[in-house]
């Protein structure tokens, strides 16, 4: 059975392992990520969700909520979403997404958005199967 719950500080290490799966080619700064994780746990505008099976964290989803002119009110943003590679295809991602959308609605959001890298075609199909549409390109740069 899968339990979807808000993350706690004790979930940081398994979440970090999931982030390594999400960003395999990226060098991760453990201390910086720990600082962000700890800080965001205390924010009403941030939801960290863990999918837990048999006491093990097998999925993670991060939802940010902010007031947005584009959203004409509150807008939810899925910052990260990942399910353990060994557990994909079991409906865990759908459960995480469903709970994130419920929380966004409870927080007054009218819309939820996310970004997904071009090469993540399986993720694109997943999001489209849950009603999301590709509507723009994301641009970014280091500063």
User: Any idea what the CATH number is for the domain that residue 116 is in?
Assistant: 3.40.630.30
* Domain region containing 11: 2-129
- pLDDT above 70 coverage of the chain, percent: 100
How many domains are there within the chain? Answer: 1
pTM tops 0.85, yes or no: yes
Q: Is 62 among the domain residues?
A: yes
- How many angstroms separate the first and last alpha carbons of the chain? 44
Whether residue 136 lies inside any domain: the answer is no
Report if residue 134 sits inside a domain. Answer: no
Residue 142 lies inside a defined structural domain of this protein: no
138 pLDDT exceeds 90? no
Other Cβ atoms less than 10 A from the Cβ of 46: the count is 17
> Which residues make Cβ contacts (< 8 Å) with residue 23, sequence separation at least 6?
none
Q: Take residue 45 and report the two structure tokens written for it.
A: 């505008």
pLDDT at 50: 99
Per-residue model confidence as pLDDT tens digits over 36-78: 999 999 899 999 999 999 999 999 999 999 999 988 999 999 9
Tell me whether residue 137 is in a domain.
no
């Amino acid at each position: 059975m899968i339990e979807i719950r808000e993350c706690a500080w004790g979930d940081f290490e398994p979440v970090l392992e999931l982030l390594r799966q999400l960003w395999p080619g990226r060098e991760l700064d453990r201390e910086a990520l720990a600082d962000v994780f700890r800080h965001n746990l205390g924010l009403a505008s941030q939801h960290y969700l863990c999918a837990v099976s048999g006491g093990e964290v097998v999925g993670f989803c991060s939802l940010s909520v902010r007031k947005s002119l584009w959203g004409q009110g509150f807008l939810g943003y899925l910052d990260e979403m990942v399910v353990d590679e060994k557990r994909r295809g079991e409906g865990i991602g759908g459960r995480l997404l469903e709970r994130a959308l419920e929380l966004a609605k409870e927080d007054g959001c009218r819309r939820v958005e996310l970004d997904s890298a071009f090469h993540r075609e399986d993720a694109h199909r997943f999001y489209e199967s849950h009603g999301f549409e590709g509507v723009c390109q994301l641009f970014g740069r280091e500063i």
